[in-house]
Amino acid sequence: MGKATITLLLAACLLSACSNSGNTGSQAAEKTPQPAAATEAAETAASPAPEVTASAAPEATASPEATPAAASDAQVPLLYHMNKNYDIVPNDPITNKKVVLLTFDDGPKEAELINPLMDTLDKHKAKAIFFVNGYRVKEHPELLELIHKRGGVLGNHSWDHIVLKDKPEAEVKKQIEDVQRIVKEITGETPHFFRPPHGAGGDVGKKIAAANGMLYMTWSNGSLDWEMKAKDAGKTEKLIKNVTDQLHSGSNILMHELPWTVEALDTLLTTLEGKGYSFVDPRSIELKMR
């Protein structure tokens, strides 16, 4: 071959190599986004969607059918029963017996009393029974709702707060069952505990309470807060002394929705805790006396 021919062949080879190299780079540039997009799609499909999780949680929490009270009711085991002295007694010897039951009668009265009372109970992680009168509930159903929504356990204290033991059976039945009915209408639940006014229900009161699935009780430790008057000095100290003087394991403590009782409650509960007592959850008490 002549030099001119060789030169032309070399030039042609060089041009062909450059052309192939340019095409390869262009194809690579076009194909690069495709794997990245596919990878992103795969990762998105494999990851949980935060939007779904975030929207689901509030709906479950806010459901009115799953209230904290309803949920906790199902979780409270029956650890205690009531004896004939109306004391709270553990079912099992290994269960803590150094407990007291907190109860408040004659409500519901005023939100200005109920809210601070409930605040104090919450502070001490304590539950209490609120024995309500039907005529008060009828006048202020919103106060019954307040107690219920704040976790108070509702009890039946008859409609008119009258002495029941000498009344005809039909009247006693109406006094008790009308309260069951109105509490059910307002809260969706019926009381499981009955306390007769003045502690005087008689055999008929016990019979009708049992027929309505309620545990009949009076009390075994009276605060005597009902004997105090607004003008009396030292009411807080007197109330605490009245309770501690009678204090014993299983004390069923009677109190009322009164200003001085609300004022004394935090100190009273702190005092009881200092003596080694805790507060029994009423829902852990069997509804049959032993």
**Within-domain flag for 8:** no
Look at residue 75 in the predicted model and tell me its pLDDT. 81
Look at residue 12 in the predicted model and tell me its pLDDT. 46
**Within-domain flag for 38:** no
**Within-domain flag for 137:** yes
**Within-domain flag for 233:** yes
Q: Is the pLDDT of residue 38 over 70?
A: no
Residue 62 has which token pair? 């806010």
| Alpha-carbon 239 to chain mean position | 28
Catalytic residue IDs: 105, 256
Residue carrying structure tokens 């009393």: 113
Q: Give residue 89's domain range.
A: 78-284
Round to whole Å and give the CA distance between 142 and 218.
27
**Within-domain flag for 212:** yes
Give CB contacts under 8 A, 24+ apart, made by 187-193.
187/144, 187/145, 187/148, 187/154, 189/148, 189/154, 191/132, 191/154, 191/155, 191/156, 192/153, 192/155, 192/287, 193/129, 193/131, 193/153, 193/155, 193/156, 193/217, 193/282
Strand intervals (E) in the chain: 80-82, 88-90, 99-107, 128-132, 153-156, 193-194, 215-216, 221-222, 251-256, 278-279
Report which residue type is found at 240: I
Q: Is the pLDDT of residue 15 over 90?
A: no
Q: Is the pLDDT of residue 35 over 90?
A: no
Q: Which of 229, 217, 261 is nearest to 243 (CA)?
A: 261
Classified as helix, coil or strand, 155 is: strand
**Within-domain flag for 192:** yes
Q: Which of 209, 196, 130 is nearest to 161 (CA)?
A: 196
Look at residue 74 in the predicted model and tell me its pLDDT. 58
Q: Is the entire prediction scored with pTM above 0.85?
A: no
**Within-domain flag for 263:** yes
Round to whole Å and give the CA distance between 12 and 34.
35
- Helix ranges restricted to H, 32-168: 33-46, 50-62, 68-73, 111-123, 134-139, 141-149
pLDDT one-digit tens code per residue, 17-32: 444 444 333 333 333 3
Mean of the per-residue pLDDT values for the chain? 82
pLDDT one-digit tens code per residue, 57-67: 333 333 333 33
Residue carrying structure tokens 């307002």: 186
pLDDT one-digit tens code per residue, 244-262: 999 999 999 999 999 999 9
Look at residue 256 in the predicted model and tell me its pLDDT. 98
Q: What does the angle CA 253 – CA 257 – CA 120 come to, to the nearest 5 degrees?
A: 75
pLDDT one-digit tens code per residue, 130-149: 999 999 999 999 999 999 99
How many domains, the chain? 1
**Within-domain flag for 27:** no
CATH number, domain at 274?
3.20.20.370
User: Within a 13 Å sphere around the CA of 154, how many CA atoms are in the beta-carbon half?
Assistant: 30
